[in-house]
Amino acid sequence: MALSFVIEPSLPGFNFENSGRNVALEDILNEGNAKAPTPLKTGTTIAGVVCKDCVVLGADTRATSSEVVADKICCGAGTAADTEKTTELLSSNLAIFSLNSGRNPRVVMAMQILQDLLFRYRGQIGAHLILGGVDCAGSHLYTVGPYGDMDKVPYLAMGSGDLPAMGILEDGFRANMELDAAKTLVRDAIHAGIMSDLGSGNNIDMCVITRQGVDYIRPYEESVYKDKRQRRYKYKAGTTAVLGERVIPLELVHETVQKMDIA
């Protein structure tokens, strides 16, 4: 007996098959004088600085979904899922290159991989990325947009709080800065974005990249604005009536143990 449908394996990478469906739904809603849902406004502040023999990156930790704070330990500019999956794809490609060649990839190679990936989808991936690193050619800092546009800069700020952060960077940046001065500058830039933008907030995270490795400082500075609950929200048992209750006991029917072959 033939099956009425065939289960196809999911393809790797991003899939935008629902784009056509969304366009058709918008046409139907417009014909019925209904309003299609609008995209949610999100916000964050990220910054980076090239200093002496290293690169310092910083970000706030607030992820917003319109007026709602969705996450307090997330960093990135753009759609959270897109930025996460894009960086995972980049990391896997660089790891494969290192395994095949036996050497570390250069920063410009990572930038070109991001460019090819984002340009392929013509802006449908909402990822605004800051790419920094140190290799045999020195310290590098790139900005890569959702359409694959690229620019190499000595300092950079992105996100909804980029304007106040960029003002701090332009005023305080100096060539060949020491590490401590660069960390202070990035912290002040992220703090300016937090204080001037409602979509940015909570803690400040930092990443220091040198030839020896990467140092993640989480958090570099904790938020001084911590709210306290004014009331207790625990209700007594029986406050809400239980309409019905059904308990189904589970019984283990068969158990097997598989041993892993480590030979």
Give catalytic residues, as residue numbers: 44
DSSP string, the chain: ---SS--PPPPSS---THHHHHHHHHHHHHHTT--PPPPPP---EEEEEEETTEEEEEEE--EEETTEEEESS---EE-HHHHHHHHHHHHHHHHHHHHHHSSPPPHHHHHHHHHHHHHHTTT-S-EEEEEEEEETTEEEEEEE-TTS-EEE-SEEEEETTHHHHHHHHHHH--TT--HHHHHHHHHHHHHHHHHH-TT--S-EEEEEE-SS-EEEEEEEE--S-----SS--PPPTTSS-----------------------
Instruction: Find tokens 């196809």 and name the residue.
Output: 8
